[in-house]
Chain A
Amino acid sequence: MSKLKGKVAVVTGASKGIGADIAKGLAKEGASVVVNYASSKEGADKVVAEITAQGGKAVAIQGSVAKEADVQRLFNETTKAFGKLDILVNNAGVYTFSPIEEITEEGYHSIFNTNVLGLLLSTREAVKLFGDNGGSIINIGSAVTELNLPTSVIYTATKGAVDSITRVLSKELGPKKIRVNSLNPGMVETEGVHSAGFIGSDFQKFAESQTPLGRIGQPGDITPIAVFLASDDSGWLTGETLVASGGSR
């Protein structure tokens, strides 16, 4: 329960879903955690309260990763609160689906700005704060880059970009002792996935039937993998992409 003692982590988009669970998991291992959110202040405050109720340390900091000034402010406030940075979980991301005939420029920019540009801006600013001991960056990608589902072309393209970002930055930042790995979840039961209408649908049944481990994921399946990637246990891994989908590929 103390693999991350003394470390400081920022988790983007941590007011709900996978991000919230990862924030709580990192705090449980002793990290001080910045729970970043774009607009769900109530959700983020709730995550912070849950963490502090368990004896952990966390603060909520607002910032939309797609906005450069917000990202700079996010990491400035992280420095003010905790003095340093060791771990970045690039979790903030959005998904919408449409067949190719219906894609729009607006839809394209919206998803790419959050899922790709936001990830790059967050990483660029975070790296300035890492010290001589380097750190660990965990990009939340998606198993869709294995599954390549019809009607997901823009979303999957953003996640293909994330896969490449992980591999390039692992080579680029390795000399600074900064590891960069991806965690690519399959379908995970979250508020977001419920809102998108996936839970209880035929698609869920189909997904489960194609999953070797026979069910869909829960945030609690993803968090221990994030903790592993954040900790020294994974110290010899960089540029890796872990597909966390119960074997669905």
Chain B
Amino acid sequence: MDRLIGKVAVVTGASKGIGADIAKGLAQEGASVVVNYASSAQDAENIVAEIASHGGKALAVQGDVTNEADVKRLFAETVKAFGRLDLLVNNAGIYQFAPLPEITEDQFHRLFNINVLGLLLSTREAIAHFGPEGGSIINIGSSVTSTNPPSSVLYTATKGAVDSITRVLAKELGPRKIRVNSINPGLVETEGTHAIGFIGGEWQKMREAQTPLGRTGQPRDITPIAIFLASDDSGWLTGEILFASGGLR
């Protein structure tokens, strides 16, 4: 329960879903956590309150990862509040699905701006604040880069880009002792996947039937993996992409 004592973490898009659970998990291991959100201020404050009620340290900081000035401000406020930065979880992301004939330029830019450009801007600004001990960057990708489902070309393309970003930056930042790894979750039951209709129907049952571990993921399946990648236990891993999908690939 204390593998991250003294560390400071930023989790983007942490007001709900996987990001919120990871933020809470990192705090439980002793990290001071910045709960970043774009617009869900109340949800983010709720996460901060939950962390504080367990004796942890957290701060909600607003910032849209697609906005360069917001991203710079996010990390400046992090260092102002906590004095340093060690961990970045690039979790902010959106999903939208459409078959090829229906894709639009707008959708392309929207998905790529958040899932790819936002991740790159966050990473660029974060590493300016990492110290000489380096740190750990965890990109939240998706198992779609293995399952490649029809009607997901834009979303899966953004996640293919994230896989490549992890591998390139692992080589580029290794000499600075900054490790870069990905977690690629499969279907996880969150507010978001409920909202989009993935939970509770025939499609979910079919997926569970194809999943070696026989069920749908929960945020708490993902968080221990994020803690592992954030901690020194994974100190010899960089450029790795962990598919966290109960074996569905």
Contacts and interface: CB of A to CB of B under 8 A. Distances in A.
B235 A238 contact: no
A41 interface: no
A174 B213 contact: yes
B246 A238 contact: yes
Interface residues of A, number: 35
Contacts of B228: 228, 233-234
Interface string B219-249: 0011011011000111111111011111101
Contact of B213 (A177, A227, A243, A246): A177
Interface in A174-207: 174-175, 177, 179
B166 to A, nearest CB: 11
Nearest to A174: B212
A235 B220 CA distance: 10
B214 interface: yes
A170 B247 CA distance: 7
A117 B243 CA distance: 27
Given A170-B212, A242-B242, A221 B174 contact: no
Interface SS of B by simple majority:
mixed
B73 interface: no
Interface residue range, chain B: 35 or more
Contacts of B222: 236
Contacts, number: 100
Contact of A212 (B232, B235, B238): B238
A121 to B, nearest CB: 22
Interface string A208-249: 000111100100011011011000111111111011111101
Interface in A146-177: 167, 170-171, 173-175, 177
Given A174-B211, A233-B224, A238-B212, A244 B237 contact: yes
Interface of B: 167, 170-171, 173-175, 177, 179, 211-214, 217, 221-222, 224-225, 227-228, 232-240, 242-247, 249
